[in-house]
Amino acid sequence: MIWPCLNYRDALGAIRILVDVVGFHEKAVHTSDDGRHVQHAELTWPEGGGVMLGSAKEDGTPFEQLPTGASGLYVVTERPDEIHQRLLAAGAEVVSPLQEKEHGGRDFTIRDPEGNLWGFGTYRGTQPQ
């Protein structure tokens, strides 16, 4: 299993969008003593897998020093239409509309407030024969 790791300038805001709008489940969120910075968070996807994220820090661990807004993720779901509607209602920036793909599947892509691209769709990749 792979868990992508993302940094955000506003990690708490990203968690709220991913949980409250997209549908991730908040598994763990560890914040700094003042509660303003996310040291580590795990969000699980109800259809399998998840992401880890935290607040970007210039003087942090190698993962915490990664640039923000430079990631692209694809989330497999059987509910792209439902998720698309929720994101539209929340004002998400759609960069690729909900559509059927030539290679199979139905998907769309949004840009989150910090620039990361999130694709949501039914395509599960090439299956072994």
| Neighbour tally for 90: CB within 10 Å | 12
The answer as to whether 59 is a domain residue is: yes
Q: Is 127 within a domain?
A: no
In angstroms, rounded to a whole number, what is the distance separating the alpha carbons of residues 46 and 26? 11
The answer as to whether 83 is a domain residue is yes
Do the domain assignments include residue 129?
no
What does the pLDDT look like over 95-127, one tens digit per residue?
A: 999 999 888 889 999 999 999 999 999 998 887
Provide the domain limits for residue 28: 5-121
- Domain contains 109: yes
> Phi and psi for 34 in degrees, rounded to 5?
-85, -5
Query: Cα–Cα distance between 71 and 76 in angstroms, integer?
Result: 16
Question: Is this model's pTM higher than 0.85 or not?
Answer: yes
Q: How far apart are CA 18 and CA 13, in angstroms?
A: 9
Q: What is the CATH number of the domain that holds 32?
A: 3.10.180.10
